[in-house]
Structures are given as C-alpha cells and as structure tokens.
Amino acid sequence: MRGMLVGAMLLAGLVAFPIWAQAADEPFLITLATRAVILALAAVGLNLALGQGGLVSLGHAAFFGIGGYAMGILASHAQSYAPLMEWPFVIEGTRSMPVIWLVAVLASALAALGIGALSLRTTGVYFIMITLAFGQMLYYFAISWTAYGGEDGLSIYVRNGFPGLNTLVPIEFYGLCLVILLVVLAFHAALIRSPFGLALNAARQSPERVRTVGIDTRRLQLAAFVLSGAITGLAGALFADLNRFVSPSMLSWQMSGEIMIFVILGGAGRLFGPVAGAIMFVALEHLLGGVSDYWHVFLGILLLLVVLFVRGGVIGLLAGARR
Amino acid sequence: MTVLVARNLVKTFGALRACDGVSLDLHRGEIHAVIGPNGAGKSTLIAQLCGSLAPDSGTVSLLGEDVTGLPVAARARRGLARTFQVSALAMEDTVLANAMLGSLGAQGRPWRFFWPVMRDRALREAAEQALERVGLADHAATRTADLSHGQRRQLEVAIALTMAPKAFVMDEPMAGLGAEGSKTLTGFLDTLRAEAPILLVEHDMDAVFALADRISVLVAGKIIATGTTTEIRANAEVRRAYLGEEA
C-alpha cells in the first residue's frame, strides 16, 4: 500500500514540477524533466527483464539505440525527401511520431527476439557477457555506418510532429512523454498481476519449479525480453526526438550501464523503482554536474550505499519491503 | 496398466556409472518405493525420469508414450508431477501464488498478460483445494519464505496436486519432517495412490514399509531387487547390502 502511495507522490511530482517550471519561466527545467521521464521509460523496459524476469541484460542500449536510429533514419529521409528504398516498393521517410514509434517498437522487439533467443541459451554471468557483446556489435556497426552519420551521428532540424500538438513547445512534448510513461507503467502493473507475471516471477526465483509444473521457462523469459526491448526502444525514439540527435553513444555499453543503474538505484522489480532511479540520476547529474566534473564519484558512492544497505532500492527504502 | 516405465537407463559421469541399466515400472494404483544407500543413484534416476537429465541410453515412457527426448516441462504437461528433496519454491511469493503456479502449468496457459491471475476462479479454486488437502489452507496468504520446513514440504505436495497428474515422483518427501509430520504425510500419501500412482524415493524406512506396495532396492546404480515389502525384508542380498546384517 505504501508502495502505491510513494508511486502516487512520484507521479504527482512529475505533473507538478513542469507546471511550476512553466510558471517560473524555466523551459530548461522542463527539458530536463522530459529527459528524466524518457530515461525512466527506458528503465521501466529493463525492469521487466531484470526486475521481473531476473535477466541481467547489459545490452539494453542496443534497443535504446535502435529506437533512436529508427527516429533518425525515418526523419532524415523525410528531411531530404529521399525515399528509404525504391524497390520493390517505395518507402518514404516520415515526420510523424506515431509512425516512428511503431517502427521503433517493432524494430527493437525484433532485435530483442534475435538477441534474446541466442542469449537465453546461457544464464548468469554468460548472459550478461553475451548481451553486452550484442550491444557492442551494434555500437560498432553504427559507428561504421557512414550513410547515417557514422561516428558523428545524425541531426534532425525540427522535432517530429504529433497530431494536435506542437511538439516544439517543451511542456507539450513533456506531456506526451509523461502520458506514454503512464500507459507503459499501467501495462507493467497489469503484467505483474497476470498469469504471465506470476509465472515469470516464479521462474526468476526457482526456474526448476516452473518447468516442473509444465511451463517452458525459456519461452517465458524470451517473451519478457522482447517486451522489455520494445519498451526501451520506444524510449530511444523519444530520447532522439528530445535531442533532435542520434549517435552511436546511445548504443554504447555506458548507456546500458546507466539504464541498469536507474533500475537498481530505484529498486529492481518495483513498479516505480526505475522512475525514481531515473529522476534521481537526472537530478544528481544536474545539481552535482554543475559543482564538479567528477560527479559520477558521488553517484558511485550512492549506488554502493543503496546496494549494500537498502534491499529494494530507494523505493524499498521509502515504501518498505515488498508485500 | 503401467503408467511410468523406465527401460535399461544408463547414465555415466566420467568413470562413474551412476545409473547402470535400471528398469522400473509404476503401475496404476500403487506406491512403488525406491530405496538405497546414499550415492546409489536415486537422484540421477529421478532426474532421468523427469527429464532434467538425459540418459546415455535407455528409454522412459509415460502412459505408453516414449518421452525420453522430452524436456521437463513437456513431461509435466503430460501428467508427471515431481516434488523436490530440497524445496524448490518461489520464496518471495505467497503460498497461494505457488499453488496456483501448479494449476497454471496444468492448464498450459501462462500466456495471458492482462487479466489478474488472482481473479481467475478456476485456477484459484484448484489451488485452494490442494492447500486444504495438505492442511495449508490457513497459510494461503503467508509468504512462502516464512513457512517452516515441514510446511514447505506440504506445499511441494500441494503444487503437485494442483497439476491433477497421472503419476507422482516424490524425492524424499519425509526428509526433515519430525515424527509427527512424517506420520501425517504418510497417512495422506496412503490415500493419494488411488488418484495417481507414486514413485517414492525415501530414506524413512517406517514410511516406506508402511506405504509401499512394491519396493525396488538401488545399490551402486543397479536395482538388486524388486518385490513386495515382505519379499524385500526377506531378501538376503538386500539385507547384506542395505538393511544391515542384523535386520
């Protein structure tokens, strides 16, 4: 119950903060909050694999980056009026966010299906290493892919559009991102309570038990991994749109590490854990980044304290142990 | 009618023949106990029957179907329910959630993503009934990690029950139970054989001789004798190898 209360307060803050920033005429703070919401979405995706499924993926930047490049590639073609392909049929670029999101979700889900199917043949530290390896493969591929900017990345001049909204207005784009986060959180909450969620959670705790009642644990985990990758891919498309820029750094292993930090800092497996983690990370980055270039040291100390002394991350600290 | 059949199972680990040509039947309506000293290969045998270990040679069949090549989950869906020697449970979840996992698996449909599982009446009733039968109904809402050792053993049996299986394979269900718990569980298993036959691997000789219709004695990966309790008690080889000379 306290978990729900903490979550409600968190969401209330996410609604109130940009309204305050708007009133105080601080558009930069709204952009900062948008960044937090989008990173939270990426982390909610990882939380499905890591927190619910126990799949420690150190390659989620792959999906984040695929979502980013889905936006970059489609929008750059719309910008140059050159079709993506002309044969056997013509595919044009687009500036429409819903279309870009759909492509980002499908592309990252497909990538997660392939990466997951191979990675899930292993467990433990091997799973971590193989997901990391796939992430790095895509990272170096993007660097060498000069058609789409290679190492320099791809810039978009104008943010893509959403019917009925002016996405160039910071608070409107923020609202759009927040609604998506809420929808995905609602999906996640439903999933945890569903038969699938029950089996997935049990498979994390005792895979042998779940197989023994007749459920194929690898298929469960693959489904979770695909959903997880799709959500993180959607976040990637939004992140690229926020910055109007996509580069290989979105695919880097540091990015994978950051997404994982959000989840662990906030509380793996907790519904609002990744949201709290991403907000804390962005806030620290903003507040301490101004004080010292070495602010990551403080982040490291904080992460150490959370992992050593707080079971269930910041949400666990505020809301108490699960159930 | 034979429910579970093992034929000439061989499994070696390096130079060790942990399972050396084991053949075994489980008939409808019986409790067939497998006894043997530590290291005799009982766990290896169970693993091959249930599918977590592939035999080097030999076959396993369930209700007339060869299941030798099938993984654990596929055998479970065909009606093979196993309980573990060391409890394998989702410790963070409630007792009810663990029991529902069994009925969820039996239906073979964990692929529903939205409808709250706790509101699925069919699943829930099957789980509650099974908890009732093993005497855990009062603990349905308890976190599994908070159960006593004996209660975890009961939950293991309850999960197997929710699967409405064709055969049980129980790996030392009495292990770690006190005299009282042992007696209760013995009474319960006695009634269970009418529902589905039980292959019972057990160290508790009182329970084995009270329950078993037939006993197989496994020594060094080989079955040295199979027979009724009286036959096994009288068997000189068994007494020498296992029950102790003076028995």
- Summarize the confidence of residues B86-97 as an average pLDDT: 93
Contact (CB<8Å) A216/B71: yes
Q: Which two tokens stand for residue B195?
A: 């529902």
A206 near B CB under 8 A: yes
Q: Extract the tokens encoding A153.
A: 């990345």
* Cβ separation A190–B117 shorter than 8 A: no
> Exposed, middle or buried, A297 (CB in 10 Å: 0-12/13-18/19+)?
exposed
The CA–CA distances, whole Å, from B138 to A58, B74, B141, B217 equal 42, 32, 8, 39
A-B CB pairs within 8 A amount to: 114
Determine the average pLDDT of the residues in B153-182.
91
Question: Is A317 contained in some domain?
Answer: no
Provide, as residue numbers in chain B, all residues whose Cβ is less than 8 Å from the Cβ of A322: 92
| CB contacts, 8 Å: B117 with chain A | 193-195, 197-198
Cα–Cα distance, B55 to B53 (Å, whole number) = 6
A299 belongs to a structural domain: no
**What does the pLDDT read at residue A113?**
98
CB-based contacts of A50: which residues, under 8 Å, 6+ apart? A56, A57, A228, A260, A263, A268, A269
Q: Is A321 on the interface with B (CB under 8 A)?
A: no
- The verdict on a CB contact (< 8 Å) between B88 and A322 is no
Whether B25 shows a pLDDT value over 90: the answer reads: yes
- B77 and A214 in contact by Cβ < 8 A? yes
**Cα–Cα distance between B140 and B136 in angstroms, integer?**
7
pLDDT of residue A322: 63
pLDDT score for B247: 41
Q: Does some domain include residue A264?
A: no
Range of the domain at A209: 15-251
Q: Give a yes or no: residue A289 inside a domain.
A: no
Closest C-alpha to B215, from A264, B223, A88, A235: B223
Q: Measured over all CA atoms, what is the biggest interatomic distance in chain A, rounded to whole angstroms?
A: 60
**Whether A208 and B114 lie within 8 Å, measured CB to CB:** no
Mean pLDDT of A212-218: 94
Query: How many structural domains does chain A have?
Result: 1
pLDDT of res. A46: 98
Share of chain A above pLDDT 70, in %: 99
Average pLDDT of the residues in A14-42: 96
**Is a pLDDT exceeding 70 seen at residue B243?**
no
Taking the alpha carbons of A191, A69, A61, A255 in that order, is the dihedral positive or negative?
A: negative
B242: pLDDT strictly greater than 90? no
The band of B160, judged by pLDDT with boundaries at 50, 70 and 90, is: very high
What is the interface pTM, i.e. ipTM, of the complex?
A: 0.90
More confident residue, A49 or B176: A49
Q: What average pLDDT score do residues A69-97 get? A: 91
- pLDDT digit string, tens, across residues A276-316: 999 999 999 999 888 888 888 988 999 999 989 887 888 98
Stretch B203-214: mean pLDDT, rounded?
91
A80 domain-assigned = yes
Contact list in A for residue B98 (CB cut-off 8 A) is 202, 209
| Chain B CB within 8 Å of residue A168 CB | no
Interchain contact A197–B (C-beta under 8 A): yes
In angstroms, the separation between the Cα of residue B120 and the nearest Cα of chain A is: 9
- Chain B nearest-CA distance from A322, in A, is 9
More confident residue, B36 or B243: B36
Tens-digit pLDDT profile for residues B127-152: 999 999 999 999 999 999 999 988 99
Asked if A87 reaches chain B (Cβ–Cβ under 8 Å), the answer is: no
What number is the average pLDDT over the span A163-176? 95
pLDDT, residue A284, reads 93
Whether the per-residue pLDDT at B245 is higher than 60: the answer is: no
pLDDT band, very low/low/confident/very high, at A323 (cuts 50, 70, 90)? very low
Q: What is the pLDDT of residues A44-61, one digit of tens each?
A: 999 999 999 999 999 999
What is the tens place of the pLDDT at every residue in A227-252?
999 999 999 999 999 999 999 999 99
CATH class of B2-79+165-243: alpha beta
Amino acid symbol at A186: A
In a domain, A279, yes or no: no
